[in-house]
Amino acid sequence: MTNRRVTIQTPLGEALQFRQLQGVEELSALSALEIDLLSKDSSIDPKALLGLGTTVVVETEGQGHRYIDGIVTGFGMRGQDTSAQFAYRLTLQPWLWLATRRTDFRIFQEMDVPAIVTQVLSRYGKPFVQRLTRGYRSRPYTVQYHESDYQFISRLCESEGIYWFVEHASGSHTVVFADDVVGSHAPLPGGGTIPFYPPGKAAIADREHIFAWHMGQGVAPGRAYLDDYDFKKPRADLSEMRQAPPGHAQDSYERYEWPGGYTEFADGETYTRLHMEEGMAGRERARAELNKRSIAPGYTIVLENYPRGDQNRQYLVTRVQYHLEENVQASQGTGGVGQTQGGSVQKFNMEVHPTSQPYRPQVTTPRPRTTGPQTAVVVGPAGEEIWTDEYGRVKVQFHWDRLGAMDENSSCWVRVSTSWAGPNFGAVFTPRIGMEVIVDFLNGDPDYPIILGCVYNAANMPPWGLPGNATQSGVKTRSSKGGAAGDGLKNGAGDANALRFEDKKGAEQLWLHAQKDQLTEVENDEDKWVGQDRRKTIDRDETSVIHRDRTETVDRDEKITVHNNRTERVDHDEKISIGDNRREDVGIDETIDIGKNRSKTIGRNEKDKIGNNWSIKVGKIKTETIGIASMQNVGVGRMENVGVVYNLNVGAIMATIVGNNQSTTVGSDRNVKVGSNQSTVVGTKYSLTVGGGGGSGAAGAGGPQNIVASSPSGGGGGGGSSITMDAESITLKVGSSSVILQADGTITVNGQSIRLIGSSDVTTTSGGIHEN
């Protein structure tokens, strides 16, 4: 066994002996090393090895060891060897290969790529380390969408310029994530400087060296251009361009990518640089053949002694191809020294990248693409019915999400498509918690969901039963929070606003229901036309404010019933025109207040009927003008009180008929002026008392009573007649003639000529008669 340079450590110990290894290890790639083994046992069970660790040990120069560790991902028997041993083949891969065995749908929010990688790989319980030299942006929403864990972290790392390799040890290996060609890597263990010697130098045949070196360059694009769009900054220019022409012909071609996967300009600069570096990474590489048994990808080496001086520099080993072989005798441990050296083969081909240029992995892992819309359920915090942000976005839980808790953390904010969306105008219908929505993805990218609409399901049925109401269309909302189910009809169950169209022939209807308030705003004109009847019921109050004019036309009848009070105010004029008749019924009282004047014109007759009393109070003067006649019938009594002056002016004839008694009381003076004749007819007795005593026509004691008859010419002097009565005397005067009766019994008759004429007798009785 001491003569073998390559051995293997398996869970079966010495039952399996190393025969041959072939395979490739390279950066950011899963190696699959095929190892041929020999055993005297023909019945080895693959389950004894599958999934378990195995280490290949390679003796290096200076009695050191190079380890190639991994887990067994395949094992099988290949027949019987000529040496009477049984041949087996084992596939050895890094533990990261296990990540290809698990596919998942997962959502990661507000995490950068290193954190996502850590969360994904920590489930495997295997060693990995991140030797990263820069910070990474937090990604608001990242979805592992029907991808294996390995595909998922590979595409994320590629997008950020992160690559990985494996560091091996005895019995273990560590996956290392790196992002810098120098800062993330260590020199090759056992000597990072490797000399070049051409074939045929026998003096150095036993020293590890490079014996073939192939270098070259290729045409590469010299410019990268990225752009993207951010709906929060719709007018922002996020485009970024970077150029680094290699200096050869045809080096000005541009790599344009959209969308760039960023929303901040600074991130655009970073991704454009990474995009440029990825395009340049494969432009200059070298391949070599060597026998350096410690060679491994992920380490740096320095080439020396190469004839072309610009090649003697530091490189990062990016790929190693192995061919290790031990002869049968060495595997059996029976051969001599010469046979071991003659039968042992260690060949290595490698590819290297100069550390003077950034290294980036090629973006080869495809992004997952959705194949069409899918549905999800709108979610939000406990106790909420609507959960949205200033853009009308909502949170959803996808049916494939096993880890979501059906709450506000189940997804990112998802934009909602609508029929119209403009600057502060458009249509808004925010999906509510519990609704099933149709979700599609921008550019087919699961990281960018968008809601296209909603669908009904058995838990969320249509508002109007189908198919029975197939002719009905419309919108019905639900009051929130705590709105009850139902149509929300008056006096019915449910809390809802609704607009419904009934298209059933002969029963067409437009139904509008406001659960509480309805506000209608018309900035110009509003026209309404009702072909037949219109009914309006208001359970409480109605207020109408019209800032200008109002015109209402009723072609037939109008009936208004006010069960309590009615108040009407007209600030200026009111005009009411009634073509025929008007009747006004007031159940109790009517009060009319007129601030200034009132005019009433009646074309023909007016009739007032007052069941009880009628009082008229005129603050100053009342004037009545009657064209022909005025007649008043008073059933019992009539009383007029005039505070100061009472004037009655009758143009022609005035007749006063009193069915029983008439009494006139004048507090001070009374004047009666008759323009022509006055006749007084008393059926029985006429009494006139002036001064003391009462009686008809009694004058007050305060002054005389005068009855004056003017002459037809209206002149004074002797042309008229008068009767003057006071408490002491009565004077009858006509022209220059007068008769004076005094209270003491004296009678004085004055006249130019005095005649006593008796148709029968004239009797004179006196205490004395004096003649002159």
For 99-141, how does the pLDDT look when each residue is reduced to its tens digit (9 = 90+)?
999 999 999 999 999 999 999 999 999 999 999 999 999 999 9
Domains of the chain from N-terminus onward: 6-180+191-213+285-354 (2.30.110.50), 219-281 (4.10.220.110), 374-455 (2.40.50.230), 692-750 (no CATH)
Q: What's the CA gap between 156 and 166, in Å, rounded? A: 18
Given a contact cutoff of 8 angstroms between Cβ atoms, the answer to whether 152 and 144 are in contact is yes
pLDDT at 42 over 90: yes
Whole-angstrom Cα distance, residue 143 to residue 627? 103
CA-based nearest residue to 442, from 420, 423, 419, 415: 415
Exposure of 411 in the CB half-sphere (CA atoms within 13 A) = 29
Check: CB of residue 277 under 8 Å from CB of residue 360.
Answer: yes
Residue 251 pLDDT class (50, 70, 90 cuts): confident
pLDDT band at 605 (very low <50, low <70, confident <90, very high): confident
Please state, in angstroms and rounded to a whole number, the distance separating the CA atoms of residues 447 and 450.
Answer: 10
Characterize the bridge pairing of strands 103-111 and 139-148.
antiparallel
CA–CA separation, 428 vs 432, rounded Å? 12
Which stretch of 253-257, 408-412, 466-470 has the lowest confidence by average pLDDT?
A: 253-257
Q: How confident is the model at residue 651 (pLDDT cuts 50, 70, 90)?
A: confident
Q: What is the mean pLDDT of the chain?
A: 86
288 close to 315: Cβ distance less than 8 angstroms:
no
Model confidence band, residue 255 (pLDDT cutoffs 50, 70, 90) = confident
- Grouping H, G, I as helix, E, B as strand and the rest as coil, residue 570 is coil
Are residues 244 and 279 in contact, defined by beta-carbon separation less than 8 angstroms?
no
Residue 432 in contact with residue 451, Cβ under 8 Å? no
CA distances from 438 to 224, 399, 431, 475, 583 (A): 36, 12, 11, 18, 68
Closest listed residue to residue 475, CA positions, set 502, 500, 503, 510: 500
More confident residue, 533 or 768: 533
Tally DSSP H helices, then E strands, for the chain. Answer: 5, 36
Distance CA 616, CA 623 (A): 13
pLDDT at 95 exceeding the cut of 90: yes
Query: pLDDT over 70 for what percent of the chain?
Result: 89
pLDDT digits (tens, 9 = 90+) for 429-470: 999 999 999 999 999 999 999 999 999 999 999 999 999 999
pLDDT at 1: 45
Residue 723 token pair: 């009767």
Distance between CA 37 and CA 396 in Å, rounded? Answer: 54
Tracing tokens 């006096």 back to the chain, one arrives at 491
Confirm whether pTM is higher than 0.85: no
Is 199 exposed, middle or buried, given 0-12, 13-18 or 19+ CB atoms closer than 10 A?
exposed
Q: Among the ranges 69-83, 640-654, 706-720, which has the highest mean pLDDT value?
A: 69-83
Three-class SS of 627-665: CCCCCCCCCCCCCCCCCCCCCCCCCCCCCCCCCCCCCCC
Q: Tell me which amino acid residue 122 is.
A: S
Q: Look at the alpha carbons of 726, 730, 735, 736 in this order and tell me if their dihedral is positive or negative.
A: negative
Q: Centre a 10 Å sphere on the Cβ of residue 450 and count the other Cβ atoms it contains.
A: 15
Burial of 179 (0-12, 13-18, 19+ CB in 10 A): buried
Token representation of residue 689: 């008392």
Those residues whose C-beta lies under 8 Å from the C-beta of residue 746, and which sit 6 or more positions away, are 740
484-498, 560-574, 719-733: which has the minimum mean pLDDT?
A: 484-498
